[in-house]
Structure 1
Amino acid sequence: MAYEHILYDVSDRIATVTLNRPDRMNAWTPVMERDVRHAMETSNADDNVRVIVLTGAGRAFCAGADMDALKGLDPNDVRRASNLPPFDMNRRPDWQTRYGFYPSIGKPIIAMLNGATAGIGLVHALYCDLRFATDNTVFTTAFARRGLIAEHGISWMLPRIVGHANAMDLLLSARRVPSEEALRIGLVNRLCSPEKLREETYAYARDLADFVSPSAIAVIKRQLYEVPFQTLAEATIDANREMMVALNGSDFREGVASFMEKRPPRFTGK
């Protein structure tokens, strides 16, 4: 597929998805939405990809929705950019909502936040599994200052990352949050200088790609996103079931063998 608003690259078993509208600070568009989702699903289906990095070109990660697109948005058809059916709120989320498909990707997704991360840009960063940011990145939910509500599941995801009180603060005030505060409240996992962000992000990604079992990652990621809908008993039963599968898998045998033989593992994801 030829992408219009992103760049896509695979190297060293790491797929990089780059929002590519640097002249507009990577402002989000329906075309970008289509491109990002296709690239994520492509990465998920590619056995040569172990880790996905989502980042932005230029001086921003994503400064929010493209205001020109918002001005022309039909309020009676907010789903026009995606062909997904209406979300059934009477059952547990199946991670196929408009932007909430990231948890269904069975590979770790790292948001490499190279600059301003606002509004819908913050939503996408939160749906990633980890967030590495420059030490001069500024974050904002933005919605309340545009007369909008907590969109696209951020009301579910944000409190689970930063806690209820911090989420309430960030959503109600829509204030600008500096990187040091973002690290303190858990909004990001790691801060780096702008010069070191790429180096540190890809060092972490390569460590996952080279030394961690893909099958274990896929199950652990699913477990963590399922837990909010489970009791302790259900989570334990699920873990016991998955452990039996893992013990019979080739990745477990390879993990033990590589440890005993003091060599790097050769995981297959089986």
Structure 2
Amino acid sequence: MPSYDDFQQIATAVDDGVMTLTLNRPERLNAWTEAMEAEFRRAIEAAEADTAVRAIVVTGAGRGFCAGADMDILEAGTRGTAAGDATAAAPAGGAQAAAPEGLDRNYAWRFSYLLKVPKPIFAAINGPVAGIGLCMALFCDFRYMAEGQKLTTAFAKRGLIAEHGASWMLPRIVGLTNALDLLMSARTLMTDEAERLGLVRARPADGFLAAVQGLAREWTHAASPRSIGVIKRQVYDGLFQDLDAAWRRADADMVASFDSEDFQEGVAHFLEKRAPRFTGR
């Protein structure tokens, strides 16, 4: 079983198919650091390899989700000493990693690798989120936000630009005009407006995390893990493909699915009128 031990700035727990990853610097509203990023990626990779995990939920300890980059890092940046820290836009995997080719180039950057994880990732935004914390959430598959919380891109009010793929992903979620509004103004919006824009789905603050974990568990127990993984890759690959390439890929994936155990189980549980017992194979 993959290891979830030895973390200092995050915490993890696996329960009934759901791995909950908690950003764990509550005294700093879970502000992002280089150490947190390394632990975050290690935990995601462990969950990806763990056959007992079908979904990942990311949340924050205490009253915040992630307040953005740690202010000590931003202050260092004003002195020209921020290279290599939590604000640097290095490819995921580090400088020594082999350069990916083809579509995989798009999944090699900070946070974009989340799109390639073949398990759904739910951002459970329990409190304020800003800057790099929001960028991370943009690359999760689903964003749920507790009612009455605040969200901001923050960059323009710090003299910065749309970092970490935000200028690419945000328009694809909320549309061009809304993305320009949120990025250029860096204004703060509440959960209800974020939901109207299609950026998040709102849920009551009471019992918020348990509700998101329940959704993740329900969805991934009712559907084939293999199908979920293939569909996720189809959708994100499709952002970089033309229709012809996407269609050909779907046809090939459909033929391959006929030979899977999950296809056999999908037909069997329907005909037998019972709950599915998918294996992901």
Tell whether the structures are fold-level matches, with TM greater than 0.5.
Answer: yes
- Does residue 227 of the first structure (1) align with residue 227 of the second (2)? no
* Corresponding position of 2:184: 172
- Among 229, 239, 253, the residue aligned to 1:242: 253
| Paired residue type of 1:146 | R
Pairing 1:216–2:227 present:
yes
Tell me, yes or no, if the aligned pair for 2:107 and 2:116 is still in contact at 8 Å: yes
Per the alignment, residue 152 of structure 2 pairs with 140
Instruction: Report 1:38-77 matches (<5 A).
Output: 38-73=42-77, 74-75=81-82, 77=84
Structure 2 unaligned spans of 5+: none
Number of residue-to-residue matches in the alignment: 269
Deviation, structure 1 residue 193 = 1.3
1:70 offset after TM fit, Å?
Answer: 2.1
Q: Does the alignment pair 1:183 with 2:187?
A: no
Amino acid at match of 1:150: A
Which range is displaced more, 75-84 or 48-57? 75-84
CA shift digits 1:179-223 (9 cap, x unpaired): 1111111101x2111103123212211112311101001011101
| TM superposition shift of 1:79 | 5.7
Among all aligned residue pairs of Structure 1 and Structure 2, give the percentage whose two residues are the same amino acid: 46
The aligned counterpart of 1:128 is 140
Distance in 1, Cα, partners of 2:100 & 2:265: 42
Contact 2:91 2:109 in 1 (8 A): no
Q: How far off is 1:137 after superposition?
A: 1.5
State the one-letter code of the partner of 2:279. Answer: T
Q: CA deviation at 1:72?
A: 2.1
Give 1:177 shift: 1.2
1:11 counterpart (7, 15, 20): 15
Normalised by the length of structure 1, the TM-score is: 0.94
Residue 125 of structure 2 corresponds to 113
TM-fit CA distance, 1:50: 0.3
2:76–2:82 Cα contact (<8 Å) kept = no
1:203 aligns with 2:214: yes
Hey, what does 1:193 align to over in structure 2? 204
1:87-119 deviation per Cα after TM superposition (whole angstroms, max 9, x unaligned): 979965331212221111110000000010110
Gaps of at least 5 residues in structure 1 are none
The equivalent of 2:95 in structure 1 is 85
Q: Distance in 2 between matches of 1:206 and 1:91?
A: 33
Are the structure 2 counterparts of residues 75 and 26 from structure 1 closer, same or farther at C-alpha, using a change threshold of 3 Å? closer
Q: CA contact under 8 A between 2:67 and 2:131: conserved in structure 1?
A: yes
Change beyond 3 A, Cα 1:191–1:16: same
Q: Runs of 4 or more off by more than 4 Å in structure 1? A: 79-83, 86-92
> Partner residue of 2:263?
252
**Pair 90,268 (structure 1): closer, same or farther in 2 beyond 3 Å:** closer
Deviations 1:42-64 (CA, angstroms, capped at 9, x unpaired): 00000000000000001110011
